[in-house]
Amino acid sequence: MINSIIEGISAALNTEFGDDYKVYVEKKEQGLEEPCFFILSINPTHKLFLGTKDGRKRYFKENSFCIHYFPADELNPRTEIHSVCEQLEDCLEWITADGDPIRGTQMHYEIEDDVLLFFINYDLFTYKAQEETAMEEFELSQNVE
């Protein structure tokens, strides 16, 4: 599911910013082409909730992400960052993952060393069919002597 959300984020970024902005999903030590984004999943969690009436297990998954933005403007990076941040709030509010819309929540951002760190959660419930276990017949016979 996390890879699907990353693909959804990447697609939303590409739609909003176009091909001039590179999107990275794997860490790259050197050769970043600025302006660019880097998508990072942060500590995903899941919790088991009460099941459903039809016997499925229900899990609540918290999917936190940090999207780094490296600006191209070296003279006024913060001006560019603030502008990009407003666009991120709009384009990442709803993404599509596995064909389903998911809403982004808990958006906030920080600026460190002239790099934008944009945080967003894509939390959702997932369902799994509960495995059915059927008892088999067992025959026992004893002799008493």
pTM (2 d.p.) = 0.81
The H or E element that residue 112 is part of is strand 105-112
The H or E element that residue 5 is part of is helix 2-17
Out of 48-57, 96-105, 112-121, pick the least confident.
48-57
- pLDDT computed for residue 50 by the predictor: 75
- pLDDT computed for residue 1 by the predictor: 84
Query: pLDDT (tens digit, 9 = 90+) per residue, 19-77?
Result: 999 999 988 777 788 999 999 999 999 888 776 667 778 889 999 999 999 999 888 99
